[in-house]
Amino acid sequence: EIVMTQSPATLSVSPGETATLSCRASQSVNSNLAWYQQKLGQAPRLLIYSASTRATGIPARFSGSGSGTEFTLTISSLQPEDFAVYYCQQYNPWPPSITFGQGTRLEIK
Amino acid sequence: EVQLVESGGGLVQPGGSLRLSCAASGFTFSSYWMAWVRQAPGKGLEWVANIKQDGSEKYYVDSVKGRFTISRDNAKNSLYLQMNSLRAEDTAVYYCARDGVPAVTVFDYWGQGTLVPVSS
């Protein structure tokens, strides 16, 4: 099983600043990596797929990078609505496997 | 507007069974892979199972293999999860999700979730 490890567990950043979240895979997932945002009491929302492609309707301040085992989600010019929990997810085509990281909580500093 | 509405959750005893349903609307259901993803209280997300458009391929996380069965009825635009031999560790909110981006397995629409507490 591919294990996804996110860091840090909690990140405190001030509005208007930039947040950098990390995700590491236990083995290469190439660019098969997605990022989701989840607010309290809500379903997750797809932000990024294929490591760096923004999903429909996602603002340009969200960007993803990386390949292989190391990935980063960068959120620039943080808005109040961006404070939430963020999850990475790998999708290995064969054998089919889908695993999520444990999440990073982005909180207001 | 894409909508996914889960139902069927509720308190069940260990060893019991439950069938979850997901009613889909606003898109051509038969054209998409679909999935169940769960989230234990206060915990992260865990993919449970997914199913191909015509139901010919199904995949499961190891922890539910042999106990859970995913299925779909394209005529009714519905997705199902039959859960047997339930355990306390199956307690979670269960989300129905659409695998909506071509050539990648990511979930672009989610339902609101249905809670399944497993307890005596």
For residues B86-104, average pLDDT: 95
HEC-encoded secondary structure of B63-120:
HHCCCEEEEEEHHHCEEEEEECCCCHHHCEEEEEEEECCCCCCCEEEECCCEEECECC
Q: Which pLDDT value is given to residue B72? A: 98
Give B119 to chain A, closest Cα distance, Å.
22
Question: What is the C-alpha to C-alpha distance for residues A18 and A13, in angstroms, rounded to an integer?
Answer: 7
Which tokens belong to B30?
Answer: 């038969």
Of residues A65, A43, A69, the one with CA closest to residue A54? A65
Query: Per residue in B4-54, pLDDT tens?
Result: 999 999 999 999 999 999 999 999 999 999 999 999 999 999 999 999 999
Question: What is the C-alpha to C-alpha distance for residues A67 and B103, in angstroms, rounded to an integer?
Answer: 17
Q: Which pLDDT value is given to residue A39? A: 97
> Which residues in chain A touch residue B50, judged by CB atoms under 8 angstroms apart?
96, 98
> Which residues in chain A touch residue B95, judged by CB atoms under 8 angstroms apart?
43-44
B92-99 vs B78-83, strand pairing mode: unpaired
A97-100 vs A4-7, strand pairing mode: unpaired
